[in-house]
Structure 1
């Protein structure tokens, strides 16, 4: 009979046996159900990429009404929390200590220059060690000055061309909240950890316990053995996905605009390479410690760094961009974000499912061959 054929009775017995082992192992349940909650709260609350209420210093070196008015404009800005000083020395110390992100210097004789119709120079100092925060600080600090200057000119009766009004509309994420893309990405991290890390231990555990040869001496086929290892962790990963979806929508208020069917289909497709990769690592290493380390390096890190989750792939070097094409999460995360934020756009979801299933087939084939090779030695 073919090595790929499966006897339902033997498979059911092996799945039950594997399920009992999982229930007897508290660490597996903790990783499958506790880790998702921890990671979701970390990515939902601890990691915040929204730039709002940035703490800056304003050095008010002039006592004129114009200088006071400009300082007040900064204090009432919704983007800044202002520390007001008369000199730059204490503010520079706070900038070095990381207590503020920038300094706006309103120089002496600012009011006299403004009264003559000149544009007195205003210095903006930003902490360049954090480029994103520095760009945000300088852009909005410049915007406050420009808005204030236009209001002052209008109050003085100066005729100026009417400003062009911009009507801004942000699709899919109207408030530009970072959790809208962080939380779906966190779900991908969770599924990767469960699918790859946990399954990377199952075959290696059999080798370390000395039960692998005994199991293969039975009539059980290799396909039945691998399937019995996959099914329990597949169901466990689906339960984790359901838990993460509930947390995302109920706790973090991330909209789920797509259907549960699309979410389920995409998750099933992604679990194929995740589970297959974990089993291949387990069969190739035959050691639980080594398998766990390889799973973290080859599963978690590429998902976190090379999937476009936090770092834009287009901004990476070309040779790094080429590597991202062999990272399954590169296809999973954009499709998952599409389902959550845009809906069932099948022209984007179906190609991702196709790529993921292809990766899964490759990993399962490698796992089958690695397991047979290990037994032949």
Structure 2
């Protein structure tokens, strides 16, 4: 019986917060429509793949061997071949960003190729390292394929011997960057919904003066915190379902891990994000300041430092240490493993344990932020 007043007050507060959320059309729209916009925008608009690399080809002498090289490039679905009469014209096109790479076929290519020492010059636009490396790989792959075909027709290749390499890419067989991006979108959306929306709750009530109405009631800070978290947990769960459906049906991203593990870890991270937003809202004196802090402290780090865009191992050591402090980094690693690699229970237990610790700390911090106001 000693706990009945607690649950009674909690139920009443939860009903109040749910009605407020339903009546607040702007928050409801952000919570339901913004995730859909982000999924479509990032899923279809953001890609690290280069599917139409433009290669300018300069033949200094037209020979059968040079035509074989051009045929090899034209046979790749990733390359778009553009022929230029001179190297100067091709270089001008490269400077104007009208092409991504230049393949120069020297005038002595046929003679040197017959002697087993054929050489080609490839100039790549390094303004974008991802485009440059992709173009280099596509051209090299196309030429290697053509060389293998010619060697096979000729009964073998003396220069390459009998060694062949069979490549296979694990976890992302299609080499599609969408498979890499979409699981990370779950992290960004739950971060945005959790921290940004709840980051305004207490600050808004403080500005409107409705928070003072609770001062004369027996409501305790923990009850208020839990009541404010509950409806947004439901809203975040709906967004999670939308993300999973979009990943499976729209982008055909494989979900190799246990669905229950994905849901449990996602809801745990959502609780962390909600706790962070509520803590910010409890200490911030205004809605504007709360929204700015929530954006800077949650969404931006989750996007830039969690491994969503950049591999953390390529960052400076100091930034790597900072990234490990972010809850998003731990969830990003876990969700991508569950989507593409399958169940890794030691990693699941480790990262979920870290997230649970963050949730306890942040919920307690949000309770402390209200303790002096509600007694």
Counterpart of 2:178 in structure 1 is 179
Is contact 1:283-1:374 (8 Å) kept? no
Counterpart of 2:33 in structure 1 is 34
Counterpart of 2:52 in structure 1 is 53
Cα deviation, residue 149, structure 1: 4.7
Mean CA deviation greater in 207-216 or 164-173: 164-173
Counterpart of 2:279 in structure 1 is 280
* 1:154-233 correspondence runs (5 A): 160=158, 162-233=161-232
CA distance in 1, matches of 2:341, 2:69: 42
Cα deviation, residue 364, structure 1: 1.4
Is contact 2:58-2:105 (8 Å) kept? yes
Cα deviation, residue 349, structure 1: 0.8
Mean CA deviation greater in 364-373 or 87-96: 87-96
Q: Which runs of 4+ in 1 moved over 6 A?
A: none
Cα–Cα, structure 1 residues 50 and 159, in superposed 2: closer, same or farther, change >3 Å? closer
Counterpart of 1:66 in structure 2 is 65
Is contact 1:40-1:186 (8 Å) kept? yes
Summarize deviations over 1:254-309 as a string: whole Å, max 9, x none. 12223332122102211222111101100111311111111110000111111112
Cα deviation, residue 146, structure 1: 4.4
Mean CA deviation greater in 141-150 or 319-328: 141-150
Is contact 2:204-2:286 (8 Å) kept? yes
Matched, 1:138 2:136: yes
Counterpart of 1:97 in structure 2 is 96
CA distance in 1, matches of 2:246, 2:20: 28
Cα–Cα, structure 1 residues 119 and 68, in superposed 2: closer, same or farther, change >3 Å? same
CA distance in 2, matches of 1:167, 1:89: 38
* 1:249-328 correspondence runs (5 A): 249-328=248-327
Counterpart of 1:124 in structure 2 is 122
Cα–Cα, structure 1 residues 191 and 114, in superposed 2: closer, same or farther, change >3 Å? same
Let me know the Cα RMSD of the aligned residues.
Answer: 2.3
Matched, 1:329 2:333: no
Counterpart of 2:240 in structure 1 is 241
Cα deviation, residue 58, structure 1: 0.9
Is contact 2:113-2:119 (8 Å) kept? no
Counterpart of 1:347 in structure 2 is 346
CA distance in 2, matches of 1:93, 1:55: 14
Cα deviation, residue 118, structure 1: 5.8
Summarize deviations over 1:52-78 as a string: whole Å, max 9, x none. 331211112212222122122212123
Is contact 1:60-1:71 (8 Å) kept? no
TM-score normalized with structure 2 length: 0.92
CA distance in 1, matches of 2:186, 2:152: 51
Summarize deviations over 1:64-106 as a string: whole Å, max 9, x none. 2221221222121233111112223333233223232111111
Matched, 1:15 2:14: yes
Is contact 1:6-1:223 (8 Å) kept? no
CA distance in 2, matches of 1:311, 1:283: 32
Is contact 1:5-1:223 (8 Å) kept? no
Counterpart of 2:76 in structure 1 is 77
CA distance in 1, matches of 2:5, 2:333: 35
Cα deviation, residue 148, structure 1: 4.1
Cα–Cα, structure 1 residues 154 and 12, in superposed 2: closer, same or farther, change >3 Å? closer
CA distance in 2, matches of 1:138, 1:250: 33
CA distance in 1, matches of 2:340, 2:81: 35
Is contact 2:221-2:374 (8 Å) kept? no
TM-score normalized with structure 1 length: 0.92
Q: Which runs of 5+ in 1 are unaligned?
A: none
Cα deviation, residue 373, structure 1: 3.9
Q: Aligned to 2:270, what secondary structure does the other structure show?
A: helix
CA distance in 2, matches of 1:342, 1:221: 44
Q: Which runs of 5+ in 2 are unaligned?
A: none
Cα deviation, residue 217, structure 1: 1.6
CA distance in 1, matches of 2:129, 2:224: 52
